[in-house]
Amino acid sequence: MLNKKILKNMFTLEGIDGSGKTTQAPLIKEYLKKAGLKVQVFRHPDINPLGEFIRKNIRTFDPWLRNQLIVLDMKATLRNQEKNYDLKTIFIWDRYIDSFYTSNSEMTLKEANDIMSEMPLPIKTFWLDIDPNVVLTQRENAVNEHSDPIWLSLKQKRYNKLFKKYPERFIRINADQSIELVTKQIAEEIIKICK
């Protein structure tokens, strides 16, 4: 992964289910816009026909097909942006290549890197780090496939592995803080990097 192209205006939000990625993305965008910056937020899977198809059917695909569709969805999103690519616009992804690895329990990090070899790297990845037990406590009335303690713990271990392997790219954020504080920490770091 270290030989890949790094996009100096791309940042990613990563973390286990319930860590606050989807909550933070629009808040960070608004904070940066108030600071006079142009921002685009992307979701993975994207909000397009392919992304919605993946989202609705992800549990029915065999791992190979699921992984190929996910890569295709990311490539399509990036390709759509190439037409209007502007280094002055900040790109923020709600999940990107790191969640591809952490969400595939059958995949090694090397296999994930090989599959994602054509994807550019963000300049920084903000890992919204939170104890899986905190998420489970918050979600005790909304049990679903994202509330499995074994699954959340495995994803947390995999994020920790990525954090240790790529310390130059990852910034760990305590996601158990107030929403406003997390937003401010991430947005201020982006502003500092983009100056």
pLDDT tens-place string over residues 102-157: 988 888 999 988 888 889 999 999 999 999 999 888 766 555 555 688 889 999 99
Least confident of 24-33, 116-125, 163-172, 182-191: 116-125
Asked, for residue 164, whether it belongs to a domain, the answer is yes
Pairing of the two strands 121-129 and 170-174: parallel
Indicate whether 194 pLDDT > 50: yes
Residue-level pLDDT at 118? 85
Q: How many CB atoms lie within 10 A of CB 23?
A: 17
Asked, for residue 13, whether it belongs to a domain, the answer is yes
CB 44 within 8 A of CB 12: no
pLDDT band for position 1 (cuts 50, 70, 90): very low
CB 8 within 8 A of CB 2: no
Alpha-carbon gap, residue 23 to 28, rounded angstroms? 9
Residue-level pLDDT at 27? 98
Domain membership of residue 50 as a residue range = 7-194
Residue-level pLDDT at 140? 66
Residue-level pLDDT at 19? 94
Residue-level pLDDT at 36? 95
Residue-level pLDDT at 172? 98
User: What Rg, from alpha-carbon coordinates, does the chain have?
Assistant: 16
Q: How many CB atoms lie within 10 A of CB 106?
A: 7
Residue-level pLDDT at 146? 57
Q: Look at the pTM and tell me if it is higher than 0.85.
A: yes
Asked, for residue 86, whether it belongs to a domain, the answer is yes
Overall domain count for the chain: 1
Asked, for residue 14, whether it belongs to a domain, the answer is yes
Alpha-carbon gap, residue 46 to 43, rounded angstroms? 5
Alpha-carbon gap, residue 5 to 20, rounded angstroms? 28
Asked, for residue 2, whether it belongs to a domain, the answer is no
Residue-level pLDDT at 2? 38
What's the CATH code of the domain at 145? 3.40.50.300
Indicate whether 3 pLDDT > 50: no
pLDDT band for position 77 (cuts 50, 70, 90): confident
CB 67 within 8 A of CB 97: no
Crossing angle of helices 21-34 and 179-194, in 10° steps, is 50
Indicate whether 13 pLDDT > 90: yes
Asked, for residue 1, whether it belongs to a domain, the answer is no
